[in-house]
Structure 1
Amino acid sequence: MHFIRRLWSWFSAVDTVPDRSTERLFAERALINGDWTAFDLDTVKLLIAMFDTDKNGTIGFSEFAGLWKYIKDWQDVFKHFDRDQSGSIDSSELTQALQQFGYNLSRNLVALVQRKYDPTATAATGGRGPPPGITFDRFVRACVVIRQLSEAFKGLDTDRDGWIQVNYEQFMETVLRLP
């Protein structure tokens, strides 16, 4: 009960416009990485889409409680795979995580995931910003996206042989329906 009161206090503090919670509000105030930086906005959008159960574009308290638990669970996963405790996931840690989740991606695919979700891979930070590797928020997003894409592929792989026979329209429709 004490936890619920604390969570309500946190939610009330960040929800300055009651019943009108926005992605930006959550990005700036509610969802914070282990280094106190705000979550990446694309990750926030993905999480809101996942937890906005009534599909009204906002996160109410009960949805926020589910989201909070989800984030807490992912923090434990992140800490487990961040073996060097750098605050980010490097390519070998990413490979281990994905393998334990049941995704045996090639080196090339892991490298692509690393480049896509590592903010330092595409731009120099000038000594500021996150350490090299995938930050917590982007790690969550990468894993969720890989799961969603894998599930979408499985839906199209009707004979379960690892190959799909779909036309471009079917493929695009499947991918674009993902949150």
Structure 2
Amino acid sequence: MFGNPGYGGGSYPGFGAPTQTPIGPEVQQWFQAVDRDHSGQINWEELQSALVNGQGENFSSQACKLMIGMFDVDKSGTIGINEFQLLYNYINQWLTVFKNYDSNRSGSIEEQELNLAFQQMGFRFSSDFIKFLISRSDLKNHQLISVDQFIVLCVQIQRLTEAFRVRDKEMKGVINIAFEDFLTVAINCTTG
């Protein structure tokens, strides 16, 4: 933790640099199952068809596009098995955090649980900011976050945190940013 409110610094899921490990048989099996067209690459649609949230629905297209985008180094819109391994590891880490706070196993977490999850990741967000995140994610009732919505938030916060850190050279938790630079950061961090 850097000691500044809201500025995460832990090495928790999605907020550290991913590391490449040898491809395990379980990951190879999952990759082959997800790669429906047997192209050796997975796109967001294939990923979406393989992921189901706690409500029995497929992950949102936004979540899948953002997850593919995290590891799509060549910007082809697809990932190969090595990138899939990294994504697989991230998803499992995010699921572990999510499940730790989904105490009633409903497939969703509430405001206080979301706040605790972010605290575990090293972020100290205000109650108003947590409410804002939920209202932007849960368009139905503004109270609950599903696992895919949680992953979208984690990806977006990770991307924005990385962009912020590049500009926060003195690690003060405050930056000055030109308008066009801000727009560049915002657009790059919120699109797949």
TM-score relative to the length of structure 1:
0.79
**Aligned counterpart, 1:153:** 164
- Say which SS state the counterpart of residue 154 (structure 1) adopts: helix
Deviation per residue, 1:123-158 (Å, 9 max, x gap): xxxxxxxxx511111111112212222232233334
**Aligned letter for 2:179?**
Y
The one-letter code of the counterpart of 1:163 is V
| 1:174 aligned partner, one-letter code | V
Structure-to-structure mapping, 1:2-41, within 5 angstroms: 4=25, 6-19=26-39, 21-28=42-49, 30-41=50-61
Give the Cα separation in 2 of the matches to 1:151 and 1:141. 15
Mean Cα deviation higher: 108-117 or 18-27: 18-27
Task: Name the CA distance, whole Å, in 2 between partners of 1:177 and 1:118.
Answer: 23
Q: Between Structure 1 and Structure 2, whose CA radius of gyration is higher?
A: 1
Q: Percent identity?
A: 36
Give the alignment of 1:104-143 within 5 angstroms: 104-121=124-141, 133-143=144-154
- Greater Cα offset, 103-112 or 150-159: 150-159
- Judge conservation of contact 1:114–1:133 (CA < 8 Å) in 2: yes
Between Structure 1 and Structure 2, the one with more strand by share is 2
Name the structure where helix makes up a greater proportion of residues.
1
**Structure 1 residues 148, 21: CA separation in 2 closer, same or farther (over 3 Å shift)?**
closer
**In the alignment, is the contact (CA less than 8 A) between 1:119 and 1:134 conserved in 2?**
no
Unaligned runs of 5+ in 1: 123-131
For 1:93-104, what aligned pairs fall within 5 Å after superposition?
93-104=113-124
| Offset at residue 93 of structure 1 (A) | 0.3
How many angstroms apart in 2 are the aligned matches of 1:160 and 1:61? Answer: 35
Deviation of 1:32 (Å): 2.3
- Provide the aligned C-alpha RMSD in A: 2.4
Question: Structure 1: how far apart are the matches of 2:33 and 2:140?
Answer: 32
How many Å separate the matches in 2 of 1:13 and 1:147? Answer: 28
Deviations 1:45-75 (A, max 9, x none): 1110112244432122232233222212221
Q: In 2, distance between residues paired with 1:65 and 1:150?
A: 23
Letter of the 1:63 counterpart: E
Match of 1:164 in 2: 175
Q: Which has the higher contact order (CA 8 A, sep 6+)?
A: 2
Corresponding residue for 2:12?
none
- Cα 1:168–1:61 shift into 2, 3 Å: same
1:177–1:85 Cα change, 3 Å: same
Gap change, CA 1:10 and 1:36, over 3 Å in 2 = farther
Unaligned runs of 5+ in 2: 1-23
Q: TM-score, normalised by structure 2?
A: 0.74
